[in-house]
Amino acid sequence: MVRPFLIEEYRPQFHFTPEKNWMNDPNGLVYHDGIYHIFYQYNPNGTKWGYISWGHAISTDLVHWKHLPIALECDVDSNGNIMEMFFSGSVAVDVNNTSGFAIPIGRSQKGKEMFSQPMVAIYTSHYPTAHTTFNGQVIREGQQSQSIAFSNDNGLTWTKYNGNPVIPSPPPEYADQYNQFRDPFVFWHSTSSKWIMVATLALKQTLLIYSSDNLKDWTLASQFGPYNARFGEWECPSLFPLYVDGNSASEKWVMLIGINPGGVVAGSGTQSIIGSFDGKTFVADPSDVYDPTKVPADSTVFQDFESTSSTFEELGWTATGDFVSRGPRKASTVNAGKIKGYLGNGIMTTYLSGGTGTGTIASPKFTITEEYISFLVAGGYYPYNPVTAGTPEDHQVSMNLVVDGKVVHSQTGTNTENLVWRSWNVAGWVGKEAYLIVTDVNPGPSAHLHIDEIVFSNSPKDEANWNDFGPDYYAAATYNGLPNSERTVVGWMNNWAYANDIPTSTWRSAMSIPRTLALKTINNKVRLVQQPVSSVSTLYTAALCSHNFSVLQCGETEVNVPAPYNARMRLALKFARGTGTKFGVCLRSNAANTQETVIGYDFLGQNVFVDRFKSGNNSFVDSERNAFPGCFIATMATKPTDLIELNILLDWSSVEVFDGQGQIAITCQIFPLDDSAKVKLFSEGGSTKSVSVAINGIDSVWT
């Protein structure tokens, strides 16, 4: 039993959670007068999404929070009809009183009248019911409009502006998108002395950029999108400047965009695009835009599936089960033409009539000669699980790369019918013989995979800049009110694929650890990097243990971490490649090895991974659409001599993994049993060199 005292099962101890009830996106992040405010999407009436209001809490250090009363409460009429929900948005402090919302607060010593600095919340009014507002605006059922409210007591009480909504509808060319227009992010742009708003047309994967002098009257300035990850709803944008490598002479702008579904795993995900902003238009850097129709310049096409009149056997592939004597198909004829994103006409698919086909389709053997294998993939999320593969519990629908008889890379669908690029680093197997095998053992209607355009090259084919390669980082929002050289971001540590079902009670959902963002040049490319905010380290206990091994032998080495810190700790791992193939740590392991969360680095596949197949309770979602179990990878190419660094934050029901440079983050929820409390280092396939492990406990912020 690792629970230190009576706390609720799974309750995070150093991540923000509401005291009770449902929470989703962080909203209105603003730093003002030494206080960090967090508002958030909140249901005051239950543990599932609904009655959406804005909750509120404050902090002086981003780790200890004080809960405050609800800021903006869902409006319900006397018949119980919901009239207005308060969807996501932002808060700005109107220092110059451009809005006129300030109130007199007395006189200075010299007798000058002084005014408050109002906080202004800019949010989406979601109107489920058609009605006419008191100020005569005709509202349609389901309309989403942008509205404002102000507070002159530091966010404790709010007054809705009587001219709401301030942007009732999107521009005429998008008139039909009146119910998918939301999530305004507003900031003061000092160069143009204007307020800037970025809002989404969610279904169009388009951002609308507006400007204003007073937060009430808005003019459309430009549009942006769709780019990169673009199959799914675009939500919760954030736009902000940062200095490249800390150099104030070299400023770039970053657009953060939530996408759901269509995230890197399945369901919700967060991408960023770096570019420039002149007060009107955001222009993406060409190096940050990934054209999905182009393969890397040095590619060799292994199979493009254009031979739609051939069988797999005629193409030199082998098939079993329902796929014998079948072949590539015209994508437009598969699944009622729902498939998008293919190149040419043909694709490989395991979708037969009704999607019920099962069997395998395997490529001819080939020798790996280049460092990456890239391909387009779509379909249901049914990952390959090495533990259940080949057993009656095998549900996989995936394409696997097999070397020396072992699956070394695997990719399942992302729960959409839209083909997206994925790349595997195979540098570790150059010179080896390999084959690809698509395995679909699952007859369910959404359990099918589509594959197109398999290419070999020495550079990866990216779909997007993913801010986090885990499944549980969404709706990331950034703080207004910090200097231009600083940006702090907070994400919702959950995923719409299962958010309403996670096995917690009295509250549902936590926020990610707040993270400091920066722009850093890595391998000649400017990248958005992140690390936990420095104040998290104030929660660290004295070192619980530190271990150094010049050579860590193959196998498992248990590390003794005393309770309660075995459920909340920070691990700093440094290591270098030895004769082994993988190095890492198992957290929340039980004696029987039936539970563990495995985090590490794959020297051959060149990726950081988090495996939560056995992390604990992972069967709370319906079996047909269970997007929770999985192993999540982030490619990070290293040289054999590199000292690799991973920093891990473990809380009661989550892990967040960062590499030393901050280019990789993987965020995952886990729901282990209390008794799963062991910590084990492992080196697989041989030894790992220069291993150092430093572990600190993390104090609870609630005690």
Closest contact distance (angstroms) between CB of 200 and ligand FRU is: 7
Cβ contacts of 497 within 8 Å, gap of 6 or more: 261, 266, 267, 268, 381, 415, 471, 621, 625, 627, 628
Q: CA 435 to CA 402: how far, in whole Å? A: 5
Cis peptide bond prior to 386, omega within 30° of 0: no
| Contact call for residues 517 and 242 (beta carbons, < 8 A) | yes
Sheet arrangement for strand 159-160: 75-76, 82-93, 119-127, 143-151, 159-160
Beta carbon nearer to ligand FRU, 124 or 647: 124
User: Which residue of the set 25, 440, 452, 611 is catalytic?
Assistant: 25
Closest contact distance (angstroms) between CB of 27 and ligand FRU is: 8
Closest contact distance (angstroms) between CB of 90 and ligand FRU is: 11
Closest contact distance (angstroms) between CB of 237 and ligand FRU is: 10
Cβ contacts of 455 within 8 Å, gap of 6 or more: 295, 296, 299, 300, 301, 302, 373, 374, 375, 461
φ, ψ dihedrals at 112, nearest 5° = -80, 140
φ, ψ dihedrals at 137, nearest 5° = -80, 130
Closest contact distance (angstroms) between CB of 665 and ligand FRU is: 19
Closest contact distance (angstroms) between CB of 202 and ligand FRU is: 6
Closest contact distance (angstroms) between CB of 236 and ligand FRU is: 6
Q: What is the per-residue DSSP string for 166-199?
A: SB-S--GGGGGGTTSEEEEEEEEETTTTEEEEEE
CA distances 128 to 26, 237, 468, Å, are 22, 23, 33
Beta carbon nearer to ligand FRU, 260 or 400: 260
In the annotation, is 25 catalytic? Answer: yes
Write a three-state SS string for 201-263: EHHHCEEEEEEECCCCCEEEEEEECCCCCCCCEEEEEEEEEEEECCEEEEEEEEEEEEEECCC
Mapping DSSP to helix (H, G, I), strand (E, B) and coil, where does residue 286 land? helix
**Which residues partner with 391 through β-bridges?**
none
Q: CA 603 to CA 638: how far, in whole Å? A: 8
Closest contact distance (angstroms) between CB of 76 and ligand FRU is: 16
**Cβ-based neighbour number of residue 321 at 10 Å:** 15
On the CB side of 428, CA atoms within 13 Å amount to 26
**Amino acid identity at 45:** N
* Residue 540 tokens, joined: 């660290």
**Which residues partner with 166 through β-bridges?**
none
Beta carbon nearer to ligand FRU, 25 or 468: 25
| Residue numbers at the binding site for ligand FRU (CB under 6 A) | 24-25, 41, 52, 87-88, 124, 182-183, 235-236, 475
CA nearest neighbour of 664 among 424, 517, 468, 521: 468
| Contact call for residues 300 and 374 (beta carbons, < 8 A) | no
Closest contact distance (angstroms) between CB of 230 and ligand FRU is: 16
Q: CA 487 to CA 480: how far, in whole Å? A: 8
Catalytic residues: 25
